[in-house]
């Protein structure tokens, strides 16, 4: 039971983080992502997107990172675009 609860909380936290990234990117860069396009592990954010979307996010990357830290307490040390 204890392991299941921790696993469930971990999944919920991951879903929350993905959704927070999707909403923050859209509000700042006006790029629509789906939660499946986003991966966050140990401060490394990976985003799967098209070329135009990647360019727009790169231009506003610092602003996006600050917003994630300040609004959602999600710290991002590096961002990879695939």
What is the tens place of the pLDDT at every residue in 22-72? 999 999 999 999 999 999 999 999 999 999 999 999 999 999 999 999 999
For the entire predicted model, the pTM comes to: 0.83
Question: Does the pLDDT of residue 9 top 80, yes or no?
Answer: no
Token pair 């401060």 is found at 43
């Amino acid at each position: 039971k204890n392991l299941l609860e921790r696993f469930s909380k971990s999944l919920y936290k991951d879903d929350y983080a993905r959704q927070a990234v999707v909403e923050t990117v859209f509000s700042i860069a006006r790029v629509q992502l789906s939660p499946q396009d986003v991966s966050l592990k140990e401060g490394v954010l990976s985003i799967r997107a098209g070329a135009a979307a990647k360019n727009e996010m790169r231009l506003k990357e610092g602003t996006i990172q600050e917003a994630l830290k300040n609004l959602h307490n999600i710290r991002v040390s590096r961002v990879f675009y695939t």
